[in-house]
Amino acid sequence: EGPQALAFNIQGGTILGDLPPYEAFIIGGSNSVRGFAEGDLASGRSYLQATAEYRFPIFSVIGGALFVDAGTDLGSAGSVPGEPGEQRDLPGTGLGYGLGVRVQSPLGPIRVDFGLNTEGDSRLHFGIGEKF
């Protein structure tokens, strides 16, 4: 029951001028590249991330999703004062992929996603609402 959908999202940004380290873009996590913990992919002055997701019904209020997320700091980790990405030995570029379950609730979709990443790790993510 319900529609199937292919969803795509591309986001990017760069910071001009002075950049305090706490304002750097962080990549990785449930609303970024799934399969990585929050901020465990990159920390940079610039970023680009993309997602492709196939959403499908399972039954009643339950749906599923297959996804691929990619992100990069575009090589900008070294331009963040203190180089937090390099200090934490973050990869800077990576891919996450996996599957998820969506439960329609009065608050909106509740999502649980299981993601694998290109570093050989996996992660379980929880959220309310679709990623985008």
Is 123 within 8 Å of 35 (Cβ atoms)? yes
Rounded distance, CA 84 to CA 38, Å?
14
Q: Residue 123 has which token pair?
A: 């992660």
Query: Which pLDDT tens digit goes with each residue over 80-126?
Result: 999 999 999 999 999 999 999 999 999 899 999 999 999 999 999 99
* pLDDT of res. 2: 76
Q: What is the CATH number of the domain that holds 78?
A: 2.40.160.50
For the chain, how many structural domains are there in total?
1
C-alpha 69: how far from its chain's center?
A: 6
| Residue numbers of the domain that contains 118 | 5-128
